Amino acid sequence: MIVSRIVARAPGGSPMAELQHRDMCAVVGIGQTEFSKNSGRSVLSLATEASTKAIADAGLTPQDIDGIVRCDFDVVTHAELATAIGAPNLTYWSALGPGGSAPCSMMASAVAAIVSGQANAVLVYRSMNGRSGFRLGKGRNQNDVGPIGGNGSYEEFFVPYGLVSPGQVWAMLAQRHMYLYGTTKEQLGAIALTVRERANANPNAQLGHKTLTMDEYLSAPMISTPLGLYDYCLETDGACAVVVTSTERARDLAKPPAIISAVSMGSVPSPQGGMAGPTLMRPDPMLFPSTSVARTLYKRAGMGPSDIDVAQFYDCFTITVLVQLEDYGFCGVGEGGPFAESGAIGKGGSLPINTSGGNLSEGYIHGMSHIVEGVRQIRGDSTSQVPGAETCLVTSGLPIITSAMILRRG
């Protein structure tokens, strides 16, 4: 018997409010740069390359872009990018975050702009030198300020005691899951091996040239118990971008549209600021915002877990995939480990995941690459294409706040 967190009614909102944006917008262009450890380029140069590729892929020109949405961690501003690509007249812009929770919420902002008539073609992008420049995975100190530290972020409760990085927090959550449900290291390893197999088929993946066995996974250096080297995502230089427009307009453009069936954002009560540490301050640290986001998302899309053909889960760590398998209703609470180990998440399984290699093996562009890969699955041109895929779930980072969307074939 599956005990699911998503069966309860989504809080708030009228039926009309839940349905009014369904299928009204689509992704019509995608673009990305090379993913590397050292781009040797500015983040503006990377953003410009990915954006111009996405615009060309859509069969549009920069002059057609009248909206830009960015991550609030992105160093490149909307104005700088508009100038660099030659978009002369923005009528809409926004910045969403924090960090990994942003990509699908950025898509929600683009949808809102188009449906409300504030823009006709919106460029959504993320650009970062996440390995050669500012490294999000490094430890922080109590004097750090900015979007991921200081200024009321609650980091002061953790940093003085050595809890300085997201990996340490997720290691504690992984240990908690193991204690509660008997989750094993091998079950986390099944996730790492699955996404590495997908990366091995992807020429653009940073680790595409390196295979991974369970013995190699289990013997890898431990970073923060129980998470070892291959439980951690990559640090990456690169950029991704997509173009969103109305579904009506999309049908006349160059590529088959990926219809945005629904988008959803959400949080848990008292989410608090900071990188990840405040999760540990909640009455139930294993209650993630993906639970409520899943309920809202499925209701808005008129779908359920059984309607999803392929998923691109935000995988900053293997444990984040495992808890999302549960939170999005693909297995019962505490059953994520056996589900992953069963082969269900492989290319031939009931729910193939992270088909380009994900954050763990393709590259870490804060989850924007998951959206690009989701579109490829809907178009039918992924390097690990799921035969007959009609729908794709894409999720963004947790645990503070999160967002997700469902793409479908038009």
Please indicate, yes or no, if residue 137 is contained in any of the structural domains.
no
Q: Which residues are catalytic?
A: 314, 364
Please indicate, yes or no, if residue 86 is contained in any of the structural domains.
yes
Helix H, strand E, coil C: the string for the chain is CCCCCCCCCCCCCCHHHHHCCCCCEEEEEEEECCCECCCCCCHHHHHHHHHHHHHHHCCCCHHHCCEEEEECCCCCCHHHHHHHHCCCCCCEEEEECCHHHHHHHHHHHHHHHHHCCCCCEEEEEEEEECCCCCCCCCCCCCCCCECCECCCCCHHHCHHHCCCCHHHHHHHHHHHHHHHHCCCHHHHHHHHHHHHHHHHCCCCCCCCCCCCCHHHHHHCCEEECCEEHHHECCCCEEEEEEEEEEHHHHCCCCCCCEEEEEEEEEECCCCCCCCCHHHHHCCCCCCCCHHHHHHHHHHHHCCCHHHCCEEECCCCEHHHHHHHHHHCCCCCCCCHHHHHHCCCCCCCCCCCECCCCHHHHCCCCCCHHHHHHHHHHHHCCCCCCCCCCCEEEEECCCCCEEEEEEEEEC
Please state, in angstroms and rounded to a whole number, the distance separating the CA atoms of residues 268 and 292.
8
What's the confidence (pLDDT) of residue 93? Answer: 97
Please indicate, yes or no, if residue 5 is contained in any of the structural domains.
no
CATH of the domain at 62: 3.40.47.10
What's the confidence (pLDDT) of residue 273? Answer: 62
What's the confidence (pLDDT) of residue 406? Answer: 98
What's the confidence (pLDDT) of residue 232? Answer: 97
Please indicate, yes or no, if residue 155 is contained in any of the structural domains.
no
Please indicate, yes or no, if residue 179 is contained in any of the structural domains.
no
Please indicate, yes or no, if residue 390 is contained in any of the structural domains.
yes
When pLDDT is cut at 50, 70 and 90, the band that residue 59 belongs to is: very high
Backbone φ and ψ for 175, nearest 5 degrees, come out as -60, -40
| Terminal CA-CA length for the chain | 34
Closest listed residue to residue 65, CA positions, set 48, 30, 90: 90
The pLDDT tens digits of the residues spanning 359-378 come to 999 999 999 999 999 999 99
pTM, rounded to two decimals: 0.92
Q: Which long-range contacts (CB under 8 A, 24 or more apart) does 140-146 make?
A: 140/164, 140/165, 140/275
The pLDDT tens digits of the residues spanning 171-212 come to 999 999 999 999 999 999 999 999 999 999 999 999 999 999
* Rounded average pLDDT over 97-113: 92
What's the confidence (pLDDT) of residue 344? Answer: 98
Please indicate, yes or no, if residue 306 is contained in any of the structural domains.
yes
When pLDDT is cut at 50, 70 and 90, the band that residue 254 belongs to is: confident
When pLDDT is cut at 50, 70 and 90, the band that residue 135 belongs to is: low
Give residue 242's domain range.
Answer: 15-132+234-409
**Paired tokens of 30:** 């995608």
Rounded alpha-carbon distances, angstroms, from residue 85 to 57, 68, 94, 213, 380 = 14, 11, 17, 43, 28
What's the confidence (pLDDT) of residue 152? Answer: 52
User: How many structural domains is the chain composed of?
Assistant: 1
Please indicate, yes or no, if residue 173 is contained in any of the structural domains.
no
More confident residue, 149 or 56: 56
